[in-house]
Amino acid sequence: MADKNTKKKKKKSTVGMAASRMAVGGAMTEEQEEILTPVQMVYRSFLEDKVAMAGVFCFLFIFLCCVVLPFFLPIDMYYQDVTQANVAPGFGMLKVPGSLKNNAEQISLGSTFSVGIDAEGNVYEWGSFPNKKLKKLPADMGKLVQVSAGLDHVVALNEDGEVLTWGNDRMGLGSLPIELRMGERVKEVYAGYQISLALTEKGRLYNWGNSYLIDVRFPEGVQGNIEKFAANTDIVMVLTKDGRVEALSPKSTVYSAVPEEIQGRVVDLALSDESAAAVTDDGMVHIWGNNIKGTRAIPEEIQGRVTSVEGARFHFTALLDDGTVAAWGDDTFGQIRVPDVKEKISTISSGYYGNYAITESGKTYSWGLDGYLMGTDDFGRDVFRRLLKGGRMTMTVGAIAVIISTFIGVIIGGVSGYKGGKVDNLLMRLTEIVSSLPFLPFAIILSAIIGNNISETQRIIMIMVILGLLSWPGIARLVRGSVLAEREQEFVTAAKALGVKEAGIIFRHILPNVITVIIVNATLDFATCMLTESSLSFIGFGVTEPNATWGNMLNGARNATVIESYWWRWVYPAIVLAICTISINCIGDGLRDAVDPKSKER
């Protein structure tokens, strides 16, 4: 019995020892799994830094927006349109008020706002108003039968044939011609770009406003024989009662070249900013003038079916005999993307960059420019699109400058740290000379001397090169210090013993061990170069208009009026630049802490 008990105890002891060995072995395996390479340790430490990760996400978001979105939101850098200047951020230019949406009689588009009347003659206004006076409607207007919106004023006609106007009254826009005030009955009114027009029932056309902008001269036999008229920023043209088209200008222009074969057969007339369109009695559309943005590209399928045509800045809209609508020309803001309307359309209205269609039941449909996400600048350019384009330019300049400075700094710092002695002394004195140069004054002087003698592309290249050539001393000193520490290590001695060349030792053996320090410094320098480029552009010595950068966008907002009234022109570029540079600095700080954990304790 004693032997059996002894054997059982030995067996249990053996099992226990085996179990303990397994437990110890398992613990050792877990500890082995926790052993990380230096790169893995840096990676894990960086991921655990919430501030650095937030910087990564913010920077990547801005970077991808600036790189990807311009392909979907292209911008013409030379585009300017003063009719769209300083429009506040937001949408709703084409959003018809609910009480008018199903009861519209007529709608007219202004530069950034619209005016409409319902069946009872009540007037409505909506959109982005360029003038506060537009909201002050005249008292006792009566029942309105027609309205027309211009750049920043409105002209209306009531059922008694009386003309009313409100909004901007500069250059005589608020003063009606004496003939209209004497009671000559009007049948059609028009508000344009700094000009107003009124056509009487006797076929006489009167204009008032900026007479220097459009010089209206009537050919013999035209005044008193006018059926319809059309106008743009350059000229007024009329359709006579006998179906002829005449240009009311003493000068010969592209609009004056009216095709002779259509004379006497025209039933409707419209103008864009660069061409004229006429509808003849056979439903055909004829266009002459400049073919800007496809305004002369008439869809073949509508020919012979057109009843009326409307013109806008760079597109035309036509109403067909079956109650449908067709449009052609510029489509930057979706002006020619006609919505699918199930009902028959009775009237259309086009102007600037938008369109309205009113069905026989009074329902309204709109398409075209509805607003700007971040508003426009003083040249009418979309701030959001320029922000994207400017971000790409600013980041490109910063990135290439950092590549140049890093390349030079690594070579000089690596050679200086490894060679030591006279070579080190010579290279460090050169570094001190370069670092002692006052960067901004030097860049300003250089830009002023040769900046106007080179193209814009060469100017941008010059800025990148200057930034790179004057920014390398800091990284050179950093690399030198790291190489001085690494060159005494055993692997360097082993490489020398094996006969590895000095260039191979420096760039293939030592630099890989200090690459993390280089990456951290380059990341921080990237933000610095972006700020420097923005500073140069802000003071007018960097990338210049019409090319966009965040710096020269801020340069365009350097006055009290912009800061007070047009806040979006400087707030958005400042916010994006600040977020981008802060994000990059957070990334650099996170990398530095991950590479050198002791830096958190300092």
Is 582 found in the same domain as 465? yes
Q: 109 pairs with which residues across the strands?
A: 114
Average the pLDDT over each of 8-17, 242-251, 459-468 and give the range with the smallest value: 8-17
- Region 250-265 average pLDDT: 90
Domain identity same for 318 and 453? no
Same-domain status, 126 and 66: no
Tokens found for residue 131: 């003038």
Average pLDDT score over residue span 32-57:
79
Determine, yes or no, domain membership for 371: no
Is 206 a domain residue? yes
Shared domain check, 538 and 424: yes
pLDDT at 321 over 50: yes
Q: Is residue 30 part of a domain?
A: no
Q: Is residue 223 part of a domain?
A: no
Q: Residue 283: its pLDDT value, please?
A: 95
Cβ neighbours of 444 (radius 10 Å): 17
SS3 110: coil
Looking at residue 518, its pLDDT comes to 85
Residue 22 is predicted with a pLDDT of 46
State phi, psi for 58 to the nearest 5 degrees. Answer: -65, -45
Q: Based on the fold, state whether residues 429 and 577 are members of the same structural domain.
A: yes
- The radius of gyration of the chain from alpha carbons, rounded to an integer in Å, stands at 36
pLDDT of 214 > 50? The answer is yes
Same domain, 257 and 312: yes
461 & 596 share domain:
yes
pLDDT, average across residues 236-255: 92
Do 335 and 410 fall within a single domain?
A: no
* Sheet with 153-158, edge to edge strand ranges: 144-149, 153-158, 163-167
161 vs 41, which has greater pLDDT? 161
Residue 250 within any structural domain of the chain: yes
The H or E element spanning position 205 is: strand 205-209
- Asked if 120 and 161 touch (Cβ cutoff 8 Å), the reply is no
Give the least confident one: 219-233, 374-388, 423-437, 534-548: 534-548
pTM given for the model: 0.82
Amino acid 46: pLDDT: 82
Residue 137 and residue 237 in one domain = no
113-158 pLDDT tens trace = 999 999 899 999 999 998 889 988 988 888 999 999 999 999 999 9
Q: Of the residues 213, 239, 270, which one is the last residue of a structural domain?
A: 213
Whole-number pLDDT of residue 439: 74
Whether residue 515 is contained in a domain is answered as yes
Q: Return the biggest CA–CA distance within the chain.
A: 142
pLDDT tens-digit series, residues 402-415: 999 999 998 898 88
Cβ-Cβ contacts under 8 Å for 211 (sequence gap 6 or more): none
What is the pLDDT, as a whole number, of residue 380? Answer: 92
Q: CA-to-CA distance for 78 and 563, rounded, in angstroms?
A: 25
pLDDT score of 434 more than 90: no
Predicted local confidence at residue 33, as pLDDT: 46
Element (H, E) at 465: helix 456-469
Q: In terms of Cα–Cα distance, which of 223, 227, 287, 218 is closest to 257?
A: 287
CA distance from start to end of the chain = 71
Per-residue confidence (pLDDT) for residue 452, from 0 to 100: 66
- State how far the alpha carbon of 515 is from the alpha carbons of 36, 191, 342, 483, 491, in Å: 19, 67, 66, 11, 17
- Asked if the model's pLDDT at residue 500 lies above 80, the reply is no
Q: Tell me what the pLDDT averaged over the chain comes to.
A: 86
Residues 144 and 257 placed together within one structural domain of the fold: no
Q: What residues does 137 pair with on adjacent strands?
A: none
Structural domains counted in the chain: 3
Compute the average pLDDT of residues 526-554.
83
Query: pLDDT at residue 384 above 80?
Result: yes
Report the pLDDT averaged over residues 441-449: 74
Kindly provide the b/e burial profile for residues 290-325, where b requires at least 16 CB atoms within 10 angstroms of the residue's own CB.
eeebebbebeeebeebbeebbbbbbbbbbbbeeebb
Contact residues for 59 (Cβ-Cβ < 8 A; gap 6+): 580, 583, 584, 587
Q: Which domain holds residue 494?
A: 47-73+382-601
Contacts with 403 (C-beta within 8 Å, 6 or more apart), sequence order = 468
User: pLDDT-based confidence at 25, cuts 50/70/90?
Assistant: very low
The per-residue pLDDT for 36 is: 67
What would the two tokens of residue 494 be?
A: 């082993």
Tell me which of 300, 327, 345 is where a domain ends. Answer: 345
With a pLDDT cut of 90, the percent of the chain lying above it is: 47
Q: In this predicted model, what pLDDT tens digit does every residue of 280-319 receive, in sequence order? A: 999 999 999 999 899 999 999 999 999 999 999 999 999 9
Separation of alpha carbons 155 and 198, rounded Å: 9
Model pLDDT, residue 599: 53
Backbone angles phi, psi at 423, to 5 degrees: -60, -45
pLDDT of residue 385: 93
Taking residue 499's Cβ as centre, other Cβ atoms within 10 Å add up to 7
Do 535 and 440 touch, CB atoms closer than 8 A?
Answer: yes
Mean pLDDT of the region 194-219: 91
Confidence check: pLDDT of 346 > 60: yes
Which of 3-12, 30-39, 235-244 is least confident?
A: 3-12
Please say which residue of 152, 187, 213 terminates a domain: 213
> Could you tell me which residue, 558 or 152, shows the higher pLDDT?
152
Query: Residue 535: pLDDT above 90?
Result: no
Specify the pLDDT at position 86. Answer: 92
8 A C-beta contact, residue 232 and residue 248: no
Do 283 and 254 lie in one domain? The reply is yes
Query: Is 584 inside any structural domain?
Result: yes
Q: Does 28 fall in a domain?
A: no
Q: Which tokens in the block code for residue 16?
A: 């226990």
328 and 407 in a single domain? The answer is: no
Q: Write down the pLDDT at residue 374.
A: 94
CATH number for 314: 2.130.10.30
**How would you label 387-403 residue by residue, b for 16+ Cβ within 10 Å and e otherwise?**
bbbbbbbbbbbbebbbe
Model confidence pLDDT, tens digit, residues 149-187: 999 999 999 998 899 999 998 888 988 888 888 878 899
pLDDT at residue 18, rounded to an integer: 45
- The pLDDT of residue 32 is 45
Peptide bond into 38 cis (omega under 30): no
**Which pLDDT belongs to residue 171?**
86
Q: 368 falls in which pLDDT band (50, 70, 90)? A: very high
